[in-house]
């Protein structure tokens, strides 16, 4: 690490009765990436908004190069070399790349005319520095999310940024785009820029960070080097308990009768698959991306058409031609893409939770709103959803709270079989722990649970049995002590036999 560039001391911020920040300290060095971690609501974004001048602290001070600085607004922060790139990017689609980068700070000629030649030249220089694949004149509307992010970074560099804050920068990026971003971050660090990287993804932190700082409930918990920042230690600092406590292994659970039986089920995307799922069991479905896990789940739920095979529920053959057939049989399916395929972001929590049970609470075409409100409030309390009431809009909630709203919708049908596709993707560790607890409780109540996950520790920690898919077919089954990451990867890649 380089020199201490910026220091925050005793930062406090209250919103009404909520103490968002409780005396937080932070140190940021040049030539270094500081990962800032914590659960949703821990105070990460609030602290960064104080640093970038969006909020004014109630108490505390900010020092730049050892001197107290007055950051009384975003303009003052930019003048001090501090720039914040939000998770929701703010690129104007109707402007060119150069116009976006210089928006509000355009170089001028005589009589106040904008010096567009200088804008293009300086933009071309910084885009070349970032390795961008678009020109200063490219309309922003044509840019991908990753390219828009580079525009935001270029804007920060034009303002001679010394501290660059990135809030969950990979949330909407593909693996290839993420790799390009990491290359840019590594380059900026080598040039002496101090980077504060907000993320809940341990793999990214292990890859990029020089140091890791942790907040919990608005308070500063501590800071450590990358070598010290093991997943177990970071998570324990974030939530106050060890990683091992997240998983309540169900291998001692009493297995019920076969609830779901799939025999030679196949489609244009899935080769014939057969398996059984018992009541009171958590069955994992693992495999590499593209192995066919989601496609098999959609086939069972009736979201995709099958070409052959039979499905039996409680020993009886059933016909599932569409999702409504599955729901009537007590089968729920939480999809991988909660925003695109699950939630109605513009509607309330109550509307989202009660959607599948509206007919049960209607008489003569009139919906019993009081009953739906009571149902939703009970679900919100049970799942500890942080939402401003059942009528609050879900689009503004955190990823973990959105996921719990979607889970509440399927719990409302009182499922006998529940398929969960990547149930903890994009949520912080606190929400993960709560979702794991719900899965455990469902299995204890006799529900048959099928969990699809790309996180091998999650599969190993949660599941009683594991099916592994490879090349659109089930390649093997693991149970008991054989459920290990090595065995799962062996079956997933055909490099080893379990």
Q: Tell me: the pLDDT tens digits for 423-477?
A: 987 777 777 888 888 999 899 999 999 999 988 888 988 999 999 998 899 999 9
Residue 109 maps to a domain: no
For residue 64, give every residue at least 6 positions away whose Cβ sits within 8 Å of its Cβ, in sequence order, or none: 5, 6, 80, 81
Domain count, the chain: 2
Q: Are residues 231 and 166 in the same domain?
A: yes
10 — pLDDT class (breaks 50, 70, 90): very high
Shared-domain flag, residues 232 and 185: yes
Domain boundary among 240, 270, 291: 240
Q: How much is the pLDDT for 241?
A: 61
pLDDT tens, 215-267?
988 899 989 998 888 877 887 787 676 555 566 554 466 778 999 999 999 99
CATH of the domain at 76: 3.40.50.300
Residue 118 near residue 139 (C-beta atoms within 8 A): no
Domain assignment present for 438? yes
Q: Are residues 369 and 319 in the same domain?
A: yes
Do 231 and 282 share a domain, yes or no? no
**Which of residues 240, 258, 273 is at a domain's end?**
240
Structural domain contains residue 108: no
120 located within any domain: no
Please, are residues 318 and 487 in contact by the beta-carbon 8 Å criterion? no
Of 200-209, 281-290, 309-318, 375-384, where does the model show the most confidence? 309-318
Q: Write down which residue in 190, 224, 240 finishes a domain.
A: 240
In a domain, 106, yes or no: no
Per residue in 333-347, is it b (16+ CB within 10 Å) or e — as a string?
bbbbebeeebbeeee
**Domain-located, residue 100:** no
Is position 254 within any domain? yes
Based on the fold, state whether residues 261 and 390 are members of the same structural domain.
Answer: yes
Residue 338 and residue 290 share a domain: yes
Let me know whether 267 and 187 are in one domain. Answer: no
Secondary structure class of 422 (helix, strand, coil): coil
CA angle (495 as vertex; 250, 295 as ends), nearest 5: 60
User: What is the pLDDT confidence band of residue 498, given thresholds at 50, 70 and 90?
Assistant: very low
- Is 275 found in the same domain as 192? no
Name the least confident of 132-146, 190-204, 226-240, 315-329: 226-240
Paired strand residues for 84: 165
Indicate whether 472 belongs to any domain: yes
Are both 263 and 221 inside the same structural domain?
Answer: no
Mean pLDDT of the chain: 87
Q: What is the pLDDT of residue 247?
A: 65
**Is the domain of 236 the same as that of 250?**
no
Verify that 250 and 357 share a domain, yes or no.
Answer: yes
Nearest to 27 by CA among 184, 276, 247, 194: 194
The pLDDT assigned to 85 comes to 85
196-212 burial: b if 16+ Cβ within 10 Å, else e: bbbbbbbebbeebbbbb
Q: Is the pLDDT of residue 495 over 60?
A: no
Q: Residue for token digits 């690129």?
A: 91
- Residues near 252 by Cβ (< 8 Å), separated by ≥ 6? none
DSSP for 349-394 reads HHHHHHGGGGGGGEETTEE-HHHHHHHHHHHHHHTT---SSTTSBG
Lowest model confidence (mean pLDDT) among 191-200, 247-256, 287-296 = 247-256
Please indicate whether residue 428 or residue 403 has the higher confidence score (pLDDT): 403
439 is in which domain, residue-wise? Answer: 246-493
% of the chain residues with pLDDT over 70: 95
Do residues 254 and 201 share a domain? no
Find, among 15, 11, 157, the residue nearest to 78 by Cα.
Answer: 157
DSSP string, 302-331: TSS--SEEEEEETTEEE--SSHHHHHHTTE
Q: Give pLDDT, residue 252.
A: 62
Sorting pLDDT into bands at 50, 70 and 90, what band is 40? low
> Which tens digit of pLDDT belongs to each residue from 122-156?
999 989 888 888 999 999 999 888 888 889 888 88
pLDDT at site 497? 41
């Amino acid at each position: 690490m380089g020199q201490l560039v910026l220091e925050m001391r005793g930062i406090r911020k209250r919103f009404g009765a909520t103490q968002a920040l409780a005396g937080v300290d932070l140190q940021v060095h040049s030539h270094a990436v500081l990962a800032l971690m914590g659960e949703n609501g821990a105070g990460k974004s609030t602290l960064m908004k104080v640093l970038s001048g969006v909020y004014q602290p109630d108490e505390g001070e900010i020092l730049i190069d050892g001197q107290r600085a007055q950051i009384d607004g975003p303009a003052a922060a930019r003048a001090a070399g501090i720039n914040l790139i939000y998770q929701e990017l703010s690129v104007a689609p109707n402007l060119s790349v150069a116009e976006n980068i210089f928006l509000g700070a355009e170089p001028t000629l005589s009589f106040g005319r904008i010096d567009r030649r200088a804008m293009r030249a300086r933009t071309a220089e910084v885009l070349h520095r970032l390795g961008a694949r678009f020109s200063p004149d490219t309309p922003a509307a044509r840019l991908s999310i990753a390219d828009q992010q580079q525009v935001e970074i270029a804007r920060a560099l034009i303002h001679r940024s010394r501290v660059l804050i990135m809030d969950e920068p990979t949330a909407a990026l593909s693996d290839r785009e993420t790799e390009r971003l990491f290359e840019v971050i590594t380059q900026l660090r080598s040039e002496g820029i101090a980077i504060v990287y907000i993320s809940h993804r341990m793999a990214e932190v292990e890859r990029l960070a020089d140091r890791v700082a942790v907040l919990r409930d608005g308070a500063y918990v501590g800071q450590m080097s990358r070598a010290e920042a093991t997943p177990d230690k970071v998570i324990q600092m974030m939530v106050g308990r060890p990683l091992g406590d997240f998983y309540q292994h169900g291998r001692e659970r009493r297995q019920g009768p076969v609830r779901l039986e799939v025999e030679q089920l196949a489609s244009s995307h899935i080769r014939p698959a057969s398996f059984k799922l018992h009541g009171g069991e958590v069955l994992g479905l693992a495999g590499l991306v593209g192995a066919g896990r989601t496609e098999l789940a959609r086939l069972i739920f009736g979201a995709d058409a099958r070409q052959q095979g039979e499905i039996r529920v409680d020993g009886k053959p059933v016909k599932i031609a569409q999702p409504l057939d599955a729901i009537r049989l007590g089968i729920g399916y939480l999809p991988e893409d909660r925003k695109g395929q699950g939630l109605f972001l513009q509607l309330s929590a109550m509307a989202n939770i009660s959607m599948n049970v509206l007919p049960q609470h209607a008489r003569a075409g009139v919906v019993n709103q009081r009953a739906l409100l009571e149902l939703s409030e009970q679900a919100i309390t049970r799942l500890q959803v942080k939402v401003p009431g059942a009528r609050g809009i879900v689009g503004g909630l955190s990823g973990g709270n959105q996921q719990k709203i979607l889970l509440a919708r399927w719990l409302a049908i009182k499922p006998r079989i529940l398929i969960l596709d990547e149930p903890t993707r994009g949520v912080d560790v606190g929400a993960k722990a709560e979702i794991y607890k719900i899965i455990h409780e469902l299995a204890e109540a006799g529900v048959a649970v099928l969990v699809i996950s790309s996180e091998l520790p999650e599969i190993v920690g949660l599941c009683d049995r594991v099916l592994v898919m490879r090349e659109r077919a089930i390649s093997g089954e693991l149970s008991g002590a054989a459920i290990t990451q090595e065995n799962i990867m062996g079956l997933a890649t055909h490099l080893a036999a379990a």
